[in-house]
Structure 1
């Protein structure tokens, strides 16, 4: 038997460890290396689903005060941010010649009243004459023609009295209308409120119906909330809400869904709802401020739960990469409700205790070798949208 020569043995002694090292490197870090992944086990636990949406601060009771006729602003007694009480006079409009017209109508009303009294006296006298001539006619001391003439005079006096009374009523109505118009020159707070805008200043001319002051009832402030229609399952009046106003950082204000609007936005595909504050925030938030609203839905009974990040698509199927004794495989699943923490119920496809891949360093395939790690290196996550 011939043994290898010594130089050959030396070469083999060098090549064998080198080849083993290269093989180890290829299996651990090269294209044949297992893909690093993070994984979790399917857990059976209850889920507390939530809804999230953006909204704006609005007011249910927004009052715009202004004159009923064109005129000039005379005085304003309040400014933006002032609290006012119901019935408080906030400003006045220039009456121009309204006071003179009221005095003229008062005089005309007095004349009409005198005319009524005069017509009443004439009617009373004419009625007395009819009675007198009727008695004379029965005693044959007066002719029937004279009695007929007196009755005509009574009819004329009665008509004159009726006309005088109608004229008095017209004058009174005209005076009442002018006095009502005079009262409307005062800008009066309809309820306790906050002044949110001053649209005109003293000396400005405004038209009928133009707003001079804008008031908001503090208790009527609410959030006009918008929710994605596809993620609004369970939205209903009475749900508790957590409100974060953009201007107040992380402060959370409690509230509840006051109502769900009967119409939706077909353009943005959103449902609309009104969310009321449990307590009106102080100071009052500006109208139009953005708010982030989280709604808590009733907790669901225990069921298999996985992270939403574990769900991927393979063609038209939605499923997860599952680790099993037979190796890695794609398992289709049927999903249920989810929460804002990134968890979702599994209605079919997985059992409690199954291990699924959450994130992977690169795209996976059936039968691929994987290595479970606590976390992946930054920038190496490969996933698919559920």
Structure 2
């Protein structure tokens, strides 16, 4: 009797445990750690892409004119302020001439004195020539001595030399006067071109040295972006390519541009390629110099090759590749990646053929032994 009761209890326990065990195994295989990994898949398509380069830069002016005196002096006046538009030839300011005007007056007086001395020398030379000619005639008629004629010849030579020296003095003094007037003219700060005044480095009363800039003027039509691109992705960057420029202060709009030139010297520290990107049309209002800008350069379209989104790329064992579905089995296929566009589409040079099926997104990390379940979309992941 006791054995039969024990047997009945055992059978009852087994009847309860077995369904629970089967239920546990079912749940583990369906939704537990042993359940298939949900994945979304895609097919490699052979298509062309138009790659683009993205870089950062700063707004600069191609032409900047630093205007200042050629001689040391003190700023007398400035007629313009930062932000003013100036025209070509406009007088922006003037340096204090100090004693330069008096020196010009003194030089003019000296020239008048030298010109008087020149006229006197010319008169003496004419008289000496007349006398020498008369004595030559008298000598021919034996009306005078050879010594007297030689004396008149010597007087003529002295008069010619004095006249030459007087002329040299006048020429030298006139050249000095022109130099003083040029120096006086250089004290006027004149705009060489029409442009925008961007800086005043000195105020009236400030003493500046020769060559020091008092004001700076730029040509507003010469604005460009001094852009930097990573050398790894800079293949194909060339002058003439179209670009889009987004200024940091105008995130909602972009300006059309064009690559003006690629600098022949790269930055060896940051490993970047430098390029000048010019605006197609002058931005309005003008952006401040030094403002940051994002530059996107559109490269020529590439030939068709197998293309996949960069979200499918995985790294396994130090190699980059994709999980490829081969007869519904997972196989990791190392690939060689080519160029990509800004939408994340990447061309595959080797390792994947057009039409091959690959895993795009997975619920968790995959291995070669993972069981998978293909779904339309993963929760929280956009298709």
Same fold by TM (over 0.5)? yes
In 1: Cα distance, 2:300 partner to 2:90 partner: 46
CA distance in 1, matches of 2:16, 2:354: 51
Written as runs of structure 1 = structure 2, the 5 A alignment for 1:173-192 is 173-192=175-194
Partner of 2:250: 248
Tell me, yes or no, if structure 1 residue 91 matches structure 2 residue 93.
Answer: yes
State the 1:338 CA deviation: 0.8
Paired residue for 1:117? 119
Do the aligned residues in 2 keep the contact of 1:56 with 1:223 (CA within 8 Å)?
A: yes
1:34 alignment partner in structure 2: 36
Larger mean CA deviation between 162-171 and 40-49 belongs to 40-49
2:48 partner SS: strand
How far off its partner does 1:360 sit? 3.0
User: In the alignment, which of 134, 137, 141 is matched to residue 135 of structure 1?
Assistant: 137
Larger deviation: 48-57 or 321-330?
321-330
Measure, in 2, the Cα distance between the counterparts of 1:370 and 1:43.
23
Aligned residue pairs total 377
Structure 1, unaligned stretches of length 5 or more? Answer: 380-386
Which residue is 1:348 aligned to? 350
Shift of 1:316: 4.5
Q: 1:256, CA displacement in angstroms?
A: 0.4
Task: Render the CA deviation track for 1:274-326: whole Å, top value 9, x for unaligned.
Answer: 11100011222111111100000111232211011222233343211112225
> Counterpart of 1:268?
270
Distance in 1 (CA, whole Å) between partners of 2:193 and 2:355 is 62
1:357 alignment partner, SS class: strand
- Ranges of 4+ aligned residues in structure 1 off by more than 4 Å: 4-10, 373-379
Which stretch shifts more, 19-28 or 87-96? 19-28
Deviation at 1:373, TM superposition (A): 4.2
Number of the residue aligned with 1:163 = 165
Structure 2 residue 196 is the aligned partner of structure 1 residue 202: no
TM-aligned CA deviation for residue 5 of structure 1: 6.7
Contact 1:59 / 1:222 at 8 angstroms: preserved in 2?
yes
Where does residue 303 of structure 1 map in the other structure? 305
Tell me how far 1:370 sits from its aligned partner: 2.2
Q: 2:335 is matched with which residue?
A: 333
1:377 shift after superposition? 5.5
Aligned to 1:222: 224
What root-mean-square deviation, in Å, do the aligned CA atoms of Structure 1 and Structure 2 show?
Answer: 1.9
Deviations 1:334-375 (A, max 9, x none): 222111111101122222232222333433211311233455
Which runs of 5 or more structure 2 residues have no equivalent in the other structure? none
> By how many angstroms is 1:9 displaced?
5.2
Secondary structure of 1:80's aligned partner: coil
